[in-house]
Amino acid sequence: MLTRRLVLVLLGTMVLLGVALAAAAGWFTDVDDANEFSADIEWLAAQDITRGCNPPTNDQFCPTNPVTREQMAAFLVRALDLTDNGGGNTFTDDNDSIFENDIAKLATAGITKGCNPPTNDRFC
C-alpha cells in the first residue's frame, strides 16, 4: 500500500508543480537523451502508466504540455491497477471523454468525488 501511495503522491506532485518530464530514447521521439528524468519516464512507460500523447502512434511524450484531470485519471488508474468502474457513467460531463472509464474507476475507488459539491455529479 505504501508503494501505491508513493506513486500517487509522485504523480500528483508532477502535475501540481508543472514538472515536465521527458522519456528515454526508445520510448518517445521528442525527448533529449540527456534529460535528467529519462530513467523515470522510461520506468513509467515500461509500467504502462504513460503511453504517449499522440495516439495511436504514441511515439511522443509532449513534455511541455499540461496534464488534464482526465489524463491524470488514466495515470492513476494504471499506477494503482484499479479495475472496478462501478458500472460507469459516474459523472454527467465526461460522456465524450476517451477517459470516461478511467474516471469512473477513480470515483469507484473513492479517489475523486466530483468537482461541484454538494451534488458532485461533474468531474470538470
pLDDT by residue for the chain (124 residues), tens digit each? 556 665 555 565 554 333 333 333 468 988 787 888 888 888 899 999 999 999 899 999 998 899 999 999 999 999 999 999 999 899 999 999 999 999 999 999 999 999 999 999 999 9
Distance CA 24, CA 34 (A): 8
- Phi, psi of 64, rounded to the nearest 5 degrees: -100, 0
Sequence-distant (≥ 6) Cβ neighbours of residue 86 within 8 angstroms:
104, 105, 107, 108
Q: Cα separations (Å) of 72 from 15, 33, 76, 102?
A: 8, 25, 6, 9
pLDDT tens digits along 48-81: 999 999 989 999 999 889 999 999 999 999 999 9
Indicate the pTM of the whole model: 0.75
Name the residue with cell 495516439. Answer: 55
**Residue 3: left if φ>0, alpha if ψ -120 to 50, beta else—which one?**
alpha
The answer to whether the beta carbons of residues 53 and 47 sit under 8 Å apart is: no
